[in-house]
Amino acid sequence: MIGPYNSEVDDVSFALKRVLPPVLVIVFILAIWQVLTVTKVFSETQFPTMTSTMAALGNALVSPILWQAVGATLEGWIVGLIIASVLALIVGSLLASSTLAFRASAATIEVFKSIPAVAILPIVILVLGSTMNMKIFLISFGVFWPLLIQVIYGVRSMDPTVRDTAKILGVRGVRRFLVVTMPSAAPYIATGLRIASIGALILAVVAELVGGAAGIGRNILIAENGGSAQYALMYAYIIVAGFLGIILTGLFTLIETRVMHWHESQRNARSNEESAK
């Protein structure tokens, strides 16, 4: 006999199918870690056991030191990202509005984009010291160029019908920029921002780890310098840095789904999900 349709049971089994496999893989990896360290394939001085790392992580999570570091990292991340985004949006839209300006500046932008931001770290430290400003500058510089290119291509790829419609409707100036140009370039900008948010986090950690600015990166360095007794804590910080990356990517994906709900890719994703159920 076929039972009545029960959506609750269905949702539970659906969740199990989706959640269970990745959880099992994580548990498996943690177990391997524990086995390799307990059996001394890796010694305590090279690699702490999984359980001691987890214990250190547990202690760190309830300590203000970790949260202050996370706060400092996120502050640099968000301020750097905002500065780079605002500049990229303004400069990119201006350059994209003229073919001459676009052609004239393309080579320069390519050169700056190709400079790894880390390469300018020594000079930035020299000028600004191991400060929050140094971190913010490094992040802004590093993510500005790729974002600028995304904005330029986004604006230049505007559908001619979209542009003509704006002209016909008499939509001009700032209003045109905000309600036509930006939404029309939004798919490019969203991709650029998603990539920039990860780039900004990496640069924040580098500025802290190498440049000595306060944040999770510097805490990793301090723990490392503390000798093998501190290794478990160092790995705990590294795990936290990894989770920061996951959370920030998730956040951006969530914002993108919300803001870009009208876009074809999101509409298609929604209808695929509907038909998969």
How far apart CA 5 and CA 138 sit, in angstroms, is: 57
- Whole-number minimum distance, CB 173 to another protein, in Å? 9
Is 276 exposed, middle or buried, given 0-12, 13-18 or 19+ CB atoms closer than 10 A? exposed
- Whole-number minimum distance, CB 171 to another protein, in Å? 5
Q: Which residues inside 150-189 make contact with another protein, applying CB under 8 A?
A: 159, 161-162, 164-165, 167-172, 175, 179-180, 183, 186
Tokens standing for residue 66: 């970790």
Nearer to another protein, 120 or 186 (CB): 186
| By the rule CB under 8 A, 82 interacts with another protein | no
Is 257 exposed, middle or buried, given 0-12, 13-18 or 19+ CB atoms closer than 10 A? middle
The residue type of 96 is: A
How far apart CA 126 and CA 4 sit, in angstroms, is: 71
Torsion 127-130-135-136 (CA) sign:
negative
Q: Tell me the number of residues near another protein by CB under 8 A.
A: 20
Nearer to another protein, 5 or 262 (CB): 262
Distance of CA 32 to the CA centre of its chain: 29
How far is it between the farthest Cα atoms of the chain? 77
- Whole-number minimum distance, CB 167 to another protein, in Å? 5
Nearer to another protein, 147 or 180 (CB): 180
**Please, which residues have CB within 8 angstroms of residue 64's CB and are 6 or more apart in sequence?**
none
Nearer to another protein, 20 or 259 (CB): 259
Note the helical H segments in 210-263.
216-225, 231-259
Q: Which residues inside 35-74 make contact with another protein, applying CB under 8 A?
A: none
Nearer to another protein, 97 or 249 (CB): 97
- Whole-number minimum distance, CB 248 to another protein, in Å? 25
Nearer to another protein, 264 or 274 (CB): 264
Select the residue interacting with another protein from 246, 262, 272, 277 (CB under 8 A). 262
Quick one: how many helices (H) and strands (E) in the chain?
Answer: 12, 0
Residues that bind another protein (CB under 8 A): 159, 161-162, 164-165, 167-172, 175, 179-180, 183, 186, 262-264, 267
